[in-house]
Structure 1
Amino acid sequence: MNSFFARRYVIQGIFIVIALIIVARLFYIQIIDKSYLLSANNNVLRKVVIYPARGVIFDRNGQVLVQNEPVYDLLVTPREVKDIDTALLCQIIDIDMQGFVNRMEKARNHSPYRASIFEKQLPATTYAQLQEHLYKFRGFYVQNRTVRSYPDSIAPQVLGYIQEVNDRDIERSNGFYRPGDYIGASGIERSYEDLLRGQRGVRNQMVDALNRPQGIFMEGKYDTLAVSGDGLVSTLDKDLQVLAERLMKNKLGSVVAIEPATGEILAFVSSASYDPNLMVGRERGNNYMKLLNDPTKPMFIRPIQASYPPGSVFKVVAALTAQQAGVINAQTSFYCPGGYRYGRGAIMRCTHVDGATDLIKSIQRSCNTYYGYTYARMIDSRGMSGPKAYDLWRESLTKFGLGSPLGIDLPNEKGGFIPESAWYTKRYGSEKWRSSYNISLSIGQGELGITPLQMANIMAIVANRGFYYRPHLVKAIGEKGIVKDEYREKIHAGVDAKYYDPVIEGMSRAVNMAGGTATSVRIPDIEMCGKTGTVQNPHGENHAVFFAFAPRENPKIAIAVFVENAGYGGTWAGPIASMLVEKHLKDTITLPKYIQDRIYNVNLLPKTAKKEEVKQAPSPAKKDSVKAGQTAQAKANKQEYFVHHSQVRRRND
Structure 2
Amino acid sequence: MATEGRSRKLIIGLVVAASIIMGKLFYIQIIEDKYKINASNNSMVYDIIYPTRGIIYDRNGQIIVGNKVAYDILVTPKEVTPFDTLMLADALGVSPDFIRDKMAEYARNRRKIGYQSMVMLKQIKPEAYMKFAEIQYNFPGFRGQVRSIRDYPFNAGGNLLGYVSEVDQKYIENHPGEYRPGDYAGKTGIEAAREKELRGEKGYHIYLRNSRNQIQQRFKDGEFDKEAIPGNDIVTTIDAELQHYGQMLMQNKVGSVVAIEPQTGEILTLVSSPGIDVEMLADIGQHYDEIARDPHKPMFNRAVQAAYPPGSVFKLVNGLIGLQEGTLTTENAYPCAGGYHFGNHKLGCHNHKSPLALEEAVMMSCNAYFCYALRNVLENKKYSNIGEALDKWNEYVQSFGFGHKLGSDFPAELGGTLPTSKMYNKRYGENGWKFTTIISISIGQGEIGVTPLQIANLAATVANRGWYRIPHIIKSSEGVEIDPKYNEKQYTMVDTTNFKKVINGMWRAVNSGYGSGGTASVAAVPGLDICGKTGTAQNPRGADNSVFICFAPKDNPKIAVAAYIENAGFGATWAAPIASLLIEQYLNGEISEERKGLEKRVLDGNLMSRVKAER
Normalised by the length of structure 1, the TM-score is 0.84
In the alignment, the residues of structure 2 paired with residue 443 and residue 40 of structure 1 have an alpha-carbon distance, to the nearest angstrom, of 71
Query: What is residue 327 of structure 1 aligned with on the other side?
Result: 327
Query: What is residue 632 of structure 1 aligned with on the other side?
Result: none
Query: What is residue 599 of structure 1 aligned with on the other side?
Result: 602
Aligned pair 1:239/2:247, yes or no?
no
Residue 118 (structure 1) aligned to one of 117, 120, 123? 120
In the alignment, the residues of structure 1 paired with residue 595 and residue 215 of structure 2 have an alpha-carbon distance, to the nearest angstrom, of 66
In the alignment, the residues of structure 1 paired with residue 277 and residue 214 of structure 2 have an alpha-carbon distance, to the nearest angstrom, of 40
In the alignment, the residues of structure 1 paired with residue 479 and residue 268 of structure 2 have an alpha-carbon distance, to the nearest angstrom, of 22
Supply the AA of the counterpart residue of 2:98. Answer: G
Is the Cα–Cα contact under 8 Å of residues 68 and 146 in structure 1 kept in the other structure? yes
Is the Cα–Cα contact under 8 Å of residues 57 and 65 in structure 2 kept in the other structure? yes
Is the Cα–Cα contact under 8 Å of residues 338 and 354 in structure 1 kept in the other structure? no
Supply the AA of the counterpart residue of 2:607. Answer: L
Supply the AA of the counterpart residue of 2:395. Answer: E
Supply the AA of the counterpart residue of 2:260. Answer: I
Query: What is residue 307 of structure 1 aligned with on the other side?
Result: 307
Write the mapping of 1:15-26 to structure 2, written as runs, cut at 5 A: none
C-alpha deviations, 1:224-274, integer Å up to 9, x for none?
Answer: 110011110011000000100000000000000000111100000000012
The alpha-carbon distance between structure 1 residues 220 and 592, as it changes in their structure 2 partners (threshold 3 A), is: same
Structure 1 vs Structure 2: percent identity of aligned residues? 42
Q: CA deviation at 1:466?
A: 0.8
In the alignment, the residues of structure 1 paired with residue 37 and residue 307 of structure 2 have an alpha-carbon distance, to the nearest angstrom, of 61
In the alignment, the residues of structure 1 paired with residue 415 and residue 529 of structure 2 have an alpha-carbon distance, to the nearest angstrom, of 32
Supply the AA of the counterpart residue of 1:186. Answer: T
Is the Cα–Cα contact under 8 Å of residues 405 and 413 in structure 1 kept in the other structure? yes
Aligned pair 1:416/2:416, yes or no?
yes
C-alpha deviations, 1:414-469, integer Å up to 9, x for none?
Answer: 11111222222222234242110011110111221111000000011001111111
Is the Cα–Cα contact under 8 Å of residues 567 and 610 in structure 2 kept in the other structure? no
Query: What is residue 398 of structure 2 aligned with on the other side?
Result: 398
Q: CA deviation at 1:140?
A: 0.8
In the alignment, the residues of structure 2 paired with residue 38 and residue 399 of structure 1 have an alpha-carbon distance, to the nearest angstrom, of 58
Is the Cα–Cα contact under 8 Å of residues 138 and 210 in structure 1 kept in the other structure? no
Moved more, 546-555 or 405-414: 405-414
Q: CA deviation at 1:583?
A: 1.1
Write the mapping of 1:470-549 to structure 2, written as runs, cut at 5 A: 470-477=470-477, 479=478, 482-514=481-513, 515=516, 516-549=518-551
Is the Cα–Cα contact under 8 Å of residues 279 and 288 in structure 1 kept in the other structure? no
Query: What is residue 651 of structure 1 aligned with on the other side?
Result: none
Moved more, 40-49 or 154-163: 40-49
Q: How many residues align?
A: 583
Query: What is residue 360 of structure 1 aligned with on the other side?
Result: 359
Query: What is residue 382 of structure 1 aligned with on the other side?
Result: 381
Aligned pair 1:196/2:198, yes or no?
yes
Supply the AA of the counterpart residue of 2:366. Answer: C
Is the Cα–Cα contact under 8 Å of residues 244 and 580 in structure 1 kept in the other structure? yes
In the alignment, the residues of structure 2 paired with residue 579 and residue 268 of structure 1 have an alpha-carbon distance, to the nearest angstrom, of 15
Write the mapping of 1:541-620 to structure 2, written as runs, cut at 5 A: 541-590=543-592, 591-607=594-610, 609=612
C-alpha deviations, 1:372-400, integer Å up to 9, x for none?
Answer: 11111111233431212111111111111
Moved more, 209-218 or 288-297: 209-218
Query: What is residue 647 of structure 1 aligned with on the other side?
Result: none
Query: What is residue 165 of structure 2 aligned with on the other side?
Result: 163
Query: What is residue 456 of structure 1 aligned with on the other side?
Result: 456
Is the Cα–Cα contact under 8 Å of residues 385 and 432 in structure 1 kept in the other structure? no
Is the Cα–Cα contact under 8 Å of residues 65 and 153 in structure 2 kept in the other structure? yes
Q: Which has the higher contact order (CA 8 A, sep 6+)?
A: 1
The alpha-carbon distance between structure 1 residues 137 and 211, as it changes in their structure 2 partners (threshold 3 A), is: farther
Is the Cα–Cα contact under 8 Å of residues 164 and 182 in structure 1 kept in the other structure? yes
Query: What is residue 84 of structure 2 aligned with on the other side?
Result: 85
Q: CA deviation at 1:293?
A: 1.1
In the alignment, the residues of structure 1 paired with residue 506 and residue 177 of structure 2 have an alpha-carbon distance, to the nearest angstrom, of 55
Gaps of 5+ in 2: 1-18
Residue 225 (structure 1) aligned to one of 209, 219, 227? 227
In the alignment, the residues of structure 2 paired with residue 356 and residue 35 of structure 1 have an alpha-carbon distance, to the nearest angstrom, of 84
The alpha-carbon distance between structure 1 residues 367 and 38, as it changes in their structure 2 partners (threshold 3 A), is: closer
Supply the AA of the counterpart residue of 2:549. Answer: F
Supply the AA of the counterpart residue of 2:527. Answer: D
Is the Cα–Cα contact under 8 Å of residues 265 and 473 in structure 1 kept in the other structure? yes
The alpha-carbon distance between structure 1 residues 179 and 39, as it changes in their structure 2 partners (threshold 3 A), is: closer
Query: What is residue 277 of structure 2 aligned with on the other side?
Result: 275
C-alpha deviations, 1:513-556, integer Å up to 9, x for none?
Answer: 13211112211111111011111223211111110001111111
Q: CA deviation at 1:480?
A: 5.1
Supply the AA of the counterpart residue of 1:419. Answer: P
Moved more, 156-165 or 550-559: 156-165
The alpha-carbon distance between structure 1 residues 309 and 147, as it changes in their structure 2 partners (threshold 3 A), is: same
The alpha-carbon distance between structure 1 residues 436 and 116, as it changes in their structure 2 partners (threshold 3 A), is: same
Supply the AA of the counterpart residue of 2:162. Answer: G
Is the Cα–Cα contact under 8 Å of residues 135 and 211 in structure 1 kept in the other structure? no
Supply the AA of the counterpart residue of 1:541. Answer: A
C-alpha deviations, 1:19-46, integer Å up to 9, x for none?
Answer: xx99xx99x97xx999999899989964
C-alpha deviations, 1:174-200, integer Å up to 9, x for none?
Answer: 312122211211111111111111111
Write the mapping of 1:418-437 to structure 2, written as runs, cut at 5 A: 418-437=418-437
Is the Cα–Cα contact under 8 Å of residues 566 and 611 in structure 2 kept in the other structure? no
Q: CA deviation at 1:123?
A: 3.2
Task: Look up the SS of the partner of 2:573 in the other structure.
Answer: helix
Task: Look up the SS of the partner of 2:74 in the other structure.
Answer: strand
Gaps of 5+ in 1: 1-17, 611-640, 642-653
Task: Look up the SS of the partner of 1:348 in the other structure.
Answer: strand
Query: What is residue 143 of structure 1 aligned with on the other side?
Result: 145
Query: What is residue 285 of structure 1 aligned with on the other side?
Result: 285
In the alignment, the residues of structure 2 paired with residue 535 and residue 36 of structure 1 have an alpha-carbon distance, to the nearest angstrom, of 67
